[in-house]
Amino acid sequence: GENVEQHPSTLSVQEGDSAVIKCTYSDSASNYFPWYKQELGKRPQLIIDIRSNVGEKKDQRIAVTLNKTAKHFSLHITETQPEDSAVYFCAASSPTSYDKVIFGPGTSLSVIP
Amino acid sequence: NAGVMQNPRHLVRRRGQEARLRCSPMKGHSHVYWYRQLPEEGLKFMVYLQKENIIDESGMPKERFSAEFPKEGPSILRIQQVVRGDSAAYFCASSPLRSRGSYNEQFFGPGTRLTVL
């Protein structure tokens, strides 16, 4: 089945700097890659997703890139703000596994004011 | 349009008791997923259900855990004879009926935090 790895597990950046989180997946049939943000004690919330037919997607300060050949995808947050501090999860979904979503282990991002 | 609802939000059980967790999907959603999150860990897939069908239960422990999504009413995750290791946050997520070419966007409920004494 699908296996999603995520790095780094923790990340500290200064406010205003950029943050990059990288993920790899194992199932070459995966075609949907969502990113979730989870604040302490809260539910995971979808912040952006990318489908396998595009290589990049941007939404304001957040961008995701996908390299299907290498089975890599990344989240980029620019001009970070303290409210970006949270745990971020990447995930992958494959039609060969009933489209269930498999999550990476998470990255704890701290933005230092 | 109400979001995914879960109840109770907090549940305390003693070892050996049963825990029942409920999930009502978003209106119009027919797919439900259950995940378990241990403290400071990631989301582990447990089970995927559609109305009256278990599609994938590969993440469910073999014993004591069961899930259902009846034709009417919420989805229920049932844990029998709970042990301390069952203490975790249990999230459900729902997604709409997929049409050809659509993707599996999931929306999460607020979670149920189970504490086993």
Q: Each residue of B65-87: pLDDT tens digit?
A: 999 999 999 999 999 999 999 99
Asked whether residue B32 carries a pLDDT value surpassing 90, the answer given is: yes
* Bridge partner list, A65: A56, A74
Q: Find chain A residues with C-beta within 8 A of B58's C-beta.
A: 1
What average pLDDT does this structure show over B14-39? Answer: 94
First to last CA, chain B: 37
* Contact in structure between B33 and B107 (CB atoms under 8 Å): no
What is the distance in angstroms between the Cα of B1 and the nearest Cα belonging to chain A? Answer: 17
**Cα atoms in the Cβ-side hemisphere of radius 13 Å centred on B50:** 10
Asked whether residue B26 carries a pLDDT value surpassing 80, the answer given is: yes
> pLDDT class for B101, splitting at 50, 70, 90?
low
Touching B: A residues 43-102, CB under 8 Å:
43-46, 49, 51, 89, 93, 97-102
Sign of CA dihedral B25, A2, A53, A58: positive
> pLDDT class for B29, splitting at 50, 70, 90?
confident
Identify the three-state secondary structure at position B46. strand
Can you read off the two tokens belonging to residue A2? Answer: 């699908």
* Contact in structure between A84 and A109 (CB atoms under 8 Å): yes
> φ, ψ for residue B26 (rounded to 5)?
-60, 150
Of B43, B48, B105, the CB nearest to A44: B43
What is the share, in percent, of chain A residues with pLDDT greater than 90? 81
Distance, CA of B37 to chain centre = 11
The DSSP string of A86-102 is EEEEEEEE-GGGTT-EE
DSSP designation for B85 = G
Q: Each residue of A24-44: pLDDT tens digit?
A: 999 999 999 999 999 998 999
